[in-house]
Amino acid sequence: MIGVVSYLVFFLILSLTFGVAVLGLNLQWGFTGLFNAGVAGFIAIGAYTMAILTGPSRDAVFGGFELPFVVGLAGAMIASGIGALFVGLATLKLRHEYLAVATFGIAVTIQLVCLNWEYLTGGTLGLIGIPNPTKAWAEGPLIQNSLYLAIVAIVVGLTIAALELIVKSPWGRMLKAIREDEVAAASLGKSPERVRLEAFVLGCMIMGLSGALYVSFIGYVSPWDFLPILTFQIWTMLIVGGSANNRGALLGALIVWGVWTMSGFVLSRVVPSEIQARGGAMQAVLIGLILVVTLLIRPRGLIGEELQVSRHARS
């Protein structure tokens, strides 16, 4: 029984952590129509910033400032935001598919930097010993993990509350206006370029936050955690749940991560150990199938966007 509960806690921590990244992507794609195919890169920036700010100091590697957890979270958001600002200034002029290709390339480049800039990132070995604040608060992994789940839940709650506030604000309506018809929005005196950049930076900051939560929980960071497949997983979560709906984004994260871990569990039991590596390939095929089938039979996702009508238009 305890085993099931502790596994459930573990599962919820990871899926909600990814859920935060999905919320960031939802702001970019769901509400603003920005095709960011470099999600993994911005999660990586947040993750490494957390590791550098809060991790133990070590020889020959930069960082290890042993700063508090909350400072790490804030730093991760700021670092991802700065990265996004530069990327956005260079690429947001591009439309749709070119933006997708360019951001995909950025994520590949960021991963290369993580892999090769040993002084900053520890290279292929990554950075280990990242502290988990709950270790100091309680004894026993189950209680520690439950406390960490509470932290993640609070972060998710705050993020959703902030996003709902933003989306319902005049600025949020402007996002949708730009998504639907950029020319019309511009003709009303709005500046689409500026608003798109703001939404892009904000979304990437949320992705950085997700990376920071991930690293503190796992305890180490390695460049192999941020391969392009992570971007595809986050996108699948958003599409399955339903874009332009924050609850949908979170639901998608739970379902897709659930399918991923359950299929991994089943495969590890069914598939003989000498071809375990191929079991991982099965999981990826499954995620791809879920994405394609969802697009074919329910393109708006499980819970898609709610139709919003101006209160002046209601009879």
Partner 1 sequence: MILQHIADGILSGAIVSLGAIGLSFTMKLLRFANFSHSELLTWGAYSALVFLAFFLSFGGFLDGTIGPFSFGPALLLAMLCSCAATSVIAILLHRFVFDRLSRAAGQMTMVFASFGVALILRHLVQLIWGSDPIYYSNELQFAVLLPGNVRVMPDQVFLLVLTMFVVAALHLFMTRSRTGIAMRGVSENPDLARVSGINVDRIITCVWIIGASGAALGGVLYGTTVQLRPELGFGLILPLFAAAILGGAGSLYGAVLGGLIVGLSENLSVMIIPTTYKPAVPFLLIVAILYFRPQGIFGERSR
In order of 26, 91, 142, 256, the CA distances from 149 in angstroms are 22, 36, 10, 19
Residues binding partner 1: number (CB under 8 A):
40
153 binds partner 1 (CB under 8 A): no
Of 218 and 300, CB closest to partner 1: 300
Kindly state whether residue 119 participates in binding partner 1, applying the rule CB under 8 A.
Answer: no
Which is nearer to partner 1, 37 or 163 (by Cβ)?
37
Contact set for partner 1, span 187-246 (CB under 8 A): 229, 232, 235-236, 239
Q: Take residue 305 and report the two structure tokens written for it.
A: 């966007």
- Minimal distance in Å, beta carbon 9 to partner 1? 29
278 counts as binding partner 1 under rule CB under 8 A: yes
Which residue stretch of 45-53, 151-159, 165-173, 276-284 sits at the interface with partner 1 (rule: CB under 8 A)?
A: 276-284
User: What is the number of other CB atoms lying within 10 angstroms of the CB of residue 251?
Assistant: 20
Q: Which is nearer to partner 1, 270 or 277 (CB)?
A: 277
Choose, by CB under 8 A, the member of 281, 298, 306, 308 that binds partner 1.
281
Under the criterion CB under 8 A, does residue 112 sit at the interface with partner 1? yes
Give how far Cα 139 sits from Cα of 6, 7, 214, Å.
Answer: 14, 17, 21
**Contact set for partner 1, span 246-275 (CB under 8 A):** 275
- 105 sits in the region (left: phi over 0; alpha: psi -120 to 50; else beta) called alpha
Structure tokens at 124: 């292929």
Q: List the one residue from 86, 299, 306, 308 that touches partner 1 (CB under 8 A).
A: 299
Question: Which of 58, 68, 97, 119 touches partner 1 by CB under 8 A?
Answer: 97
Nearest-angstrom CA–CA distance, 158 and 284: 31
CA distance 23 to 30: 9
Phi, psi of 131 (to 5 degrees): -70, 145
Whose structure tokens read 């394609």? 292
- Tell me the C-alpha distance between 171 and 190, whole Å: 10
In angstroms, the CA 42 to CA 96 distance is 19
Q: Which is nearer to partner 1, 97 or 306 (CB)?
A: 97
Nearest distance, CB of residue 267 and partner 1, angstroms: 11
190: left (phi over 0), alpha (psi -120 to 50) or beta: beta
DSSP annotation of 305 reads P
Q: Which of 236, 230, 235 is nearest to 290 (CA)?
A: 236
Name the one range near partner 1 by CB under 8 A: 12-20, 70-78, 257-265, 280-288: 280-288
Tokens of residue 76, six digits: 């991760």
Nearer to partner 1, 111 or 210 (CB): 111
Structure-token match 């569990």, residue found: 265
| Interaction pattern, residues 51-90, with partner 1; x per rule: CB under 8 A | ---------------------------------------x
Residue 206 pairs in a beta bridge with none
Can you tell me which of 119, 157, 285, 306 binds partner 1, judged by CB under 8 A? 285
Residues of the shown chain interacting with partner 1 in the complex, contacts defined by CB under 8 A: 35, 37, 90-91, 94, 96-98, 100-102, 104-106, 108-109, 112, 115-116, 229, 232, 235-236, 239, 275, 277-278, 281-282, 284-285, 287-292, 295-296, 299
